[in-house]
Amino acid sequence: MIKVVTSEERHTSDRGWIHSEFSFSFADYEDPSNAHFGCLLAHNDNILMPQEGFKKHPHHDLEIVSYVISGTLKHTDSMGTEQLLEAGTVQVMSAGTGVEHSETNPATDEPVRFLQMWFLPSQRMLKPSYAYRKIEESAHLNRLCPVVSAASGPSDESIDEDPLRIAQDVTCYLSKLESGKKLMFPQHEERRTHLFLINGHLEIQCSDGNFNLKPGDAARIRKSCDLQMTSTGSEPAEFVLVDLP
């Protein structure tokens, strides 16, 4: 079963200093029928203006995954982390027993666009942790590159190639699919799939039919479905695919 959520169906929040598109209930957007998809609680597409940001604020018992699409995002937290995250960087923060952090745009002339996803953890009261990884284009060009996963964490031998660890049975893939190229993703009966198209145009096919996605569109998929994805535009299709229980 596939449900396509178009870009226009998302909730728009524009405060001037930040423009956000919420895929699920968040902040001033309340919709009990659209509160989550499995353990995925939030999927926010943010554009943060230069020299603006979120002041330090608390979180607990959340697994927070961010992906910087363009610009630079500055992250600081109560664990002592201070990091400049360039475009193409994935960040994971486990809030656990409690952490405070801030997210700001240090640039004077360029906005920063970043996706942020919130997941319920597999267990509460974990020790807070933080990690990040720059994803080179070659790593996710015409393939599904696992960037976040519960299955494995960084190893001493190949840190750059291993996905970041998350405290939930979730795998996040990143892909940049060139025009005309295809990928397959075999979904299992008991799993869910959330696919979000960042740029380009993508056709998805399975037993439910064919669906064409444009930038900002998402597909929520349940039950068994061998998903075929084809880049149909003149530009590459960049997307995030999340496999979750």
DSSP per-residue string spanning 154-195: --SS-GGGSPEE-SSS-EEEEEEEPTT-EEEEEE-TT-EEEE
Q: What tokens were used for 2?
A: 């596939």
Residues 6+ apart with CB under 8 A from 225: 1, 2, 187, 193, 206, 207, 208
Residue type, 5: V
**Can you read off the two tokens belonging to residue 49?**
């203006």
Tell me: is residue 101 an annotated ligand-binding position: yes
Q: Looking up tokens 């400049």, which residue turns up?
A: 84
- Report whether 194 belongs to an annotated binding site: no
Is 103 within any annotated ligand binding site?
Answer: yes
201 has binding-site annotation = no
Known binding-site residues for Fe cation equal: 57, 59, 101, 103
Q: Which residues are annotated as a binding site?
A: 57, 59, 101, 103
